[in-house]
Chains A and B, each alone.
Chain A
Amino acid sequence: MKTKVAIIGAGISGASIARVLSRYENLEVHLIEKAPDVGWGVSKANTALIHGGYDDDPDRYPTRARLCIRGNRIWHRWVKELQIPHVWNGALIVATKEEDFDELEKLLERGRRNNVPEMRIVDREELFHLEPGLTRDAIGALWVPIVGQIGPIPAVIAITENAVANGVKTHLETEVSGIKVENGEVKGVETNNGFIEADIVINAAGLYADKIARMVGIDYFEIHPRKGEYWIFDDDVPGPRRVLFPTPTPISKGIVVTTEISGHLMIGPNAQDLPPEEKDNLATTREGLEQVWEGAKKLWPQLPPRSKVIRTFAGLRPEPTGGDFIIKAEEEVWGFINVAGIRSPGLTSAPAIAYEVAKIIQRDLGIELKEKSKWNPYREEISHFFMMSPEQINEAVKKNPAYGKIVCRCNNVSEGDILEAIERMKFIGVKTPSVDSVKFRTKATTGTCQGSFCRPKIVQLLAREYGVEPWKVTLKGRGSEIGVGDVKALLRGDA
């Protein structure tokens, strides 16, 4: 008899857990997500960093401190196994006044306690060698070479694809409405798509982890949304080579300046605490964006004219009561494991969190995990036209002419890339065709024109491949349909 595991939430935590648990032959793993695709919650909008692990105080936040550096180390392996787009370019925490060095010394010391390798304080001369475009006010920095950047949603997608290839079952557009507990043991989850039996329920529900925990009567923590806003600029705007942080203040880690992995200058986030009921408030604000602009300018004085922005966006971090990650099997309900409050450095920690959960299942629930004899650790990235040489294009075109046809002109995404993305969507169980699902897999619509040229073409391809009418294709799930009907629908009065 297999032990049935239901993971609630297919973000970076849930997907990582699913992948790690897919390794065991005595587990049957179900990954449940209310959104139409994976990674659309907290994982979607953040600074996309693999942190160095120097920032988390091991006395106040022991779990964060322990898992961040472990996660960083594991990511170095996972990005290769799963072909996740990434760059290991290091971070500089920049000092602009003498007092800042006191703070940097503290971070250095903390980093040493957390076992962060290779950190050191660099002087002004070396600093400008590492980052020539930095503000001339900079006088030194803490240099953390192990910091990197990845695409967070591509990472969730890659991990999920690998998990599914290893037998994990996904349930997308499936919202958990209750958890069945009998005699103090979990029995399964109730959803809009019926009951899913489970011996173990893992709560990786991001912003809604408190709501899920309350379904089994656990109410010792709350999750507060904390909004962060960002600007992202056109790819001809010069950005830094490293990840740049200001020296932190007691209130904030500060506004980060990076060149994200697709080559766009990105600045953000600010931090605004929202009331608990605003867990879907992802609206950008002028005040917030202004704050980010002013903050970024202090590190990167050569910000472009504002018209060079290609997108502004906001994300929510799930801030738990107490501030530390909550990762534990709850004693009062056997089989219920919380993976809650996975705020920064959650993306970094996710792989370590996943192994932690496997350990908890063995140690605290006493289930011995048996490894599969054949478990595939590898997953191939989809084709990207923009990575191909002209010779490779001609090889690909022999297989399918669609690889020679460009759909997204800003980022050079071919029709072939998009068709592959749609196949992959179907592979992990995406039921509602969305432009965003294609966007996160291919980078189509994320360039200079933000999709005004290619979105209709992508809609057409999604409609054809999913067999739906084109106006029913969505931007990002139900309620965001591209149109209201065919072009004469309003005149006929049937839309």
Chain B
Amino acid sequence: MFPRIPMLNYDLVVIGGGPAGMAAAIRAKELGLKVLLLDENDYLGGILPQCIHPGFGLHHFKEELTGPEFASRLAKKMVELGVEYRTAARVMEIKNYSDLEKVVIFTSPSGAYQVWTKAIIYTAGARERHAFEIGIVGDRVAGIYTAGEAQTLMDIYGIMPGREVVIVGSGDVGLIMARRFALEGAKVKAVIELMPYPGGLARNVMILRDFNIPLYLSHKVVEVRGSGRVERVKVVKVDENLREIPGSEFWISCDTLIISAGLVPSVKKLKKIGVEIDTATGGPVVNDRLETSVPGIFVAGNSLLINDLVDYVVEQGEVASEGAKEFIENGGIESRKWVKVEKGENVRLVVPHYLSGDRDVYLYLRVSRPMEEVELRIPEIGRKIKLPVVKPAEMLRIKLKAEEIQGEKLTVEVVKA
């Protein structure tokens, strides 16, 4: 049944106006596509406008920018090129009638619309895991925030969430929030990390030393107590198999608990239309144009896989747009044959999953555990790259030339050199 609501027509709809979506829309416009970008926030940029710290853009813009600066550069370019976009526009449903007939239904303060389009690039980002998902029990009180929510409160709404803070997770987001709280005068009492090594990029782990913040490796927060507001949290040490060590429990008093326990790609709407999901990334299975298992639906950024660097997110948005252009012109993405990318030794995830060999491609991968003096190998084609150190926290990105991509499959492994 077709809803009786205003109809719009585009070649391409980009869902999500963060860096991946903006980059995709810009590239699409440059390629001559009629493109519409939709974003549910009141402003463009996705999560960037609240990331007021520097460290963005070293690859893409060759200079160090803050999140808002990075976002505004892309937004400015969108405006210069005349890319059409709508903010406060929330996509309700994606319908896939046929390869070149898709409908995006969205709602906005001016009402609900249906957009008929040939291709879709989905760049809706990720969500954060919350306290319940990581098994924290106890009181459900104020003072428990995900890192992103705390960041939104502080740097979009200007609200100071608390005075004495414990942070769960030493990933980049957790570490950056540790600094953010310290800079505003809060006491960051501990960063608690489940793994025996820190989860963030080296430059962010430095924050702990700079601000004198204790890091507890191989520990987890298991319980929160308080009436009305957090008063204390219970911490326990874990062994090498991540099992809790009885008798190692201790309490830390605090009024704020920040959960930075990882991100999960937001792909529910894609699952609904049958897009195949990779359980390792939590995002869709894709080919080298970042097209999902549903023809004409592309994905980039944190909806594809969780990235550390916005520069890679932008790169993915551009690749997806080039794919969309090809899809629209040829009525599909064709390949003589698809070469499957397989995970070998110490590779937790790798994207894309299928390569055509028609174009050069970047592989994005993460290792399962840290190692030193290793080689990243693709034995089928004799490719070897020496790496002094690999960590799960640092995504690896390698370029494969089109002519290297051949055979039935390519196995990526990280082994001792």
Q: Which residues of A contact B (CB under 8 A)?
A: 236, 280, 282-286, 289, 306-307, 309-313, 385, 389-391, 393-394, 397-398, 401-402, 404-406, 409, 412, 414, 448-453, 455-456, 459-460, 470-471, 474-491, 495
Q: With both chains docked as a complex, state the minimum distance between the C-beta of A328 and any C-beta of chain B, in angstroms.
A: 34
Given A402-B109, A405-B108, A484-B160, answer yes or no on A449-B127 (Cβ-Cβ < 8 Å). Answer: yes
CA distance A41 to B241 in the complex (A): 41
20 contacts between A and B (CB under 8 A): A284-B140, A289-B137, A390-B105, A391-B5, A391-B112, A393-B112, A394-B5, A397-B109, A402-B109, A409-B90, A451-B149, A452-B128, A456-B159, A459-B159, A480-B229, A481-B142, A482-B153, A483-B159, A490-B185, A491-B185
B132 at the interface (CB under 8 A from A): yes
- Which residues of B sit under 8 angstroms from A284, Cβ to Cβ? 137-138, 140
Q: Which of B111, B133, B148, B271 contacts A393 (CB 8 A)?
A: B111
Nearest B residue (CB) for A488 = B184
Q: Which of A286, A483, A490 contacts B222 (CB 8 A)?
A: A286
CA distance A405 to B112 in the complex (A): 10
Q: With both chains docked as a complex, state the minimum distance between the C-beta of B210 and any C-beta of chain A, in angstroms.
A: 18
Q: With both chains docked as a complex, state the minimum distance between the C-beta of A369 and any C-beta of chain B, in angstroms.
A: 41
Q: Is the CB of B268 within 8 A of A448?
A: yes
Which residues in window 186-243 of B have CB below 8 A to A? Answer: 186, 222-223, 225, 227-229
CA distance A456 to B152 in the complex (A): 7
B170 at the interface (CB under 8 A from A): no
Q: Which of A285, A307, A310, A484 contacts B161 (CB 8 A)?
A: A484
Q: Is the CB of B271 within 8 A of A405?
A: no
With a 10 A CB-CB cut-off, give which of B40, B140, B158 has the most chain A CB atoms: B140
Q: With both chains docked as a complex, state the minimum distance between the C-beta of A183 and any C-beta of chain B, in angstroms.
A: 40
Given A311-B132, A470-B159, A491-B184, answer yes or no on A283-B111 (Cβ-Cβ < 8 Å). Answer: no
Interface string of B90-106 (1 = CB under 8 A from A): 10100000000000010
Q: With both chains docked as a complex, state the minimum distance between the C-beta of B125 and any C-beta of chain A, in angstroms.
A: 10
CA distance A484 to B256 in the complex (A): 11
- Which residues of B sit under 8 angstroms from A394, Cβ to Cβ? 5, 111-112
What 19 new A-B contacts, CB under 8 Å, besides A390-B114, A394-B5? A282-B139, A283-B139, A283-B225, A286-B135, A397-B110, A397-B111, A402-B109, A405-B108, A406-B40, A406-B90, A448-B268, A452-B130, A452-B149, A455-B149, A456-B157, A460-B157, A480-B142, A484-B160, A487-B184
CA distance A479 to B227 in the complex (A): 8
CA distance A451 to B153 in the complex (A): 13
Q: Is the CB of B148 within 8 A of A236?
A: no
Nearest B residue (CB) for A474 = B142
B58 at the interface (CB under 8 A from A): no
CA distance A488 to B186 in the complex (A): 10
Nearest A residue (CB) for B162 = A484
Q: Is the CB of B160 within 8 A of A285?
A: no
Q: Is the CB of B142 within 8 A of A476?
A: yes
- Which residues of A sit under 8 angstroms from B128, Cβ to Cβ? 449, 452
Q: With both chains docked as a complex, state the minimum distance between the C-beta of B417 and any C-beta of chain A, in angstroms.
A: 35
Query: When A and B form their complex, which 6 residue pairs have the shortest distance between CB atoms, in order from nearest?
Result: A479-B228, A490-B185, A401-B109, A480-B142, A406-B90, A475-B142
B81 at the interface (CB under 8 A from A): no
B328 at the interface (CB under 8 A from A): no
Nearest A residue (CB) for B181 = A490
CA distance A310 to B40 in the complex (A): 23
Q: Is the CB of A306 within 8 A of B135?
A: yes
- Which residues of B sit under 8 angstroms from A311, Cβ to Cβ? 132
B107 at the interface (CB under 8 A from A): yes
Given A391-B5, A449-B127, A450-B132, answer yes or no on A404-B108 (Cβ-Cβ < 8 Å). Answer: yes
Q: Is the CB of B112 within 8 A of A404?
A: yes
Nearest B residue (CB) for A385 = B107
- Which residues of A sit under 8 angstroms from B159, Cβ to Cβ? 456, 459, 470-471, 482-483, 486-487
Q: Is the CB of B137 within 8 A of A286?
A: yes
CA distance A294 to B6 in the complex (A): 51
B163 at the interface (CB under 8 A from A): yes
Which residues in window 116-161 of B have CB below 8 A to A? Answer: 127-130, 132-133, 135, 137-142, 145-146, 148-149, 152-161
Q: Which of B3, B90, B145, B225 contacts A390 (CB 8 A)?
A: B3
Q: Is the CB of A310 within 8 A of B153?
A: no
CA distance A414 to B89 in the complex (A): 12
Q: Which of A401, A452, A471, A484 contacts B163 (CB 8 A)?
A: A484
Q: Which of B109, B148, B228 contacts A478 (CB 8 A)?
A: B228
- Which residues of B sit under 8 angstroms from A449, Cβ to Cβ? 127-128, 130
Interface string of B350-366 (1 = CB under 8 A from A): 00000000000000000
CA distance A320 to B111 in the complex (A): 53
CA distance A311 to B136 in the complex (A): 10
With a 10 A CB-CB cut-off, give which of A401, A470, A480, A487 has the most chain B CB atoms: A487
- Which residues of A sit under 8 angstroms from B149, Cβ to Cβ? 451-453, 455-456
B378 at the interface (CB under 8 A from A): no
B76 at the interface (CB under 8 A from A): no
Which residues in window 1-48 of B have CB below 8 A to A? Answer: 3-5, 40
Nearest B residue (CB) for A398 = B111
- Which residues of A sit under 8 angstroms from B395, Cβ to Cβ? none
CA distance A309 to B40 in the complex (A): 26
Nearest B residue (CB) for A453 = B127
With a 10 A CB-CB cut-off, give which of A307, A310, A394, A459 has the most chain B CB atoms: A394
Interface string of B309-345 (1 = CB under 8 A from A): 0000000000000000000000000000000000000
B88 at the interface (CB under 8 A from A): yes
- Which residues of B sit under 8 angstroms from A398, Cβ to Cβ? 111
- Which residues of A sit under 8 angstroms from B112, Cβ to Cβ? 390-391, 393-394, 397, 404
Q: Is the CB of A307 within 8 A of B133?
A: yes
Q: Is the CB of B228 within 8 A of A486?
A: no
- Which residues of A sit under 8 angstroms from B3, Cβ to Cβ? 389-391
Q: Is the CB of B140 within 8 A of A486?
A: no
CA distance A390 to B106 in the complex (A): 9
Q: With both chains docked as a complex, state the minimum distance between the C-beta of A37 and any C-beta of chain B, in angstroms.
A: 15
Q: With both chains docked as a complex, state the minimum distance between the C-beta of A224 and any C-beta of chain B, in angstroms.
A: 20
Q: Is the CB of A452 within 8 A of B137?
A: no
Q: Which of A312, A412, A448, A455 contacts B127 (CB 8 A)?
A: A448
- Which residues of A sit under 8 angstroms from B105, Cβ to Cβ? 390
Q: Is the CB of A412 within 8 A of B160?
A: no
Q: Is the CB of B271 within 8 A of A490?
A: no
- Which residues of A sit under 8 angstroms from B162, Cβ to Cβ? 483-484
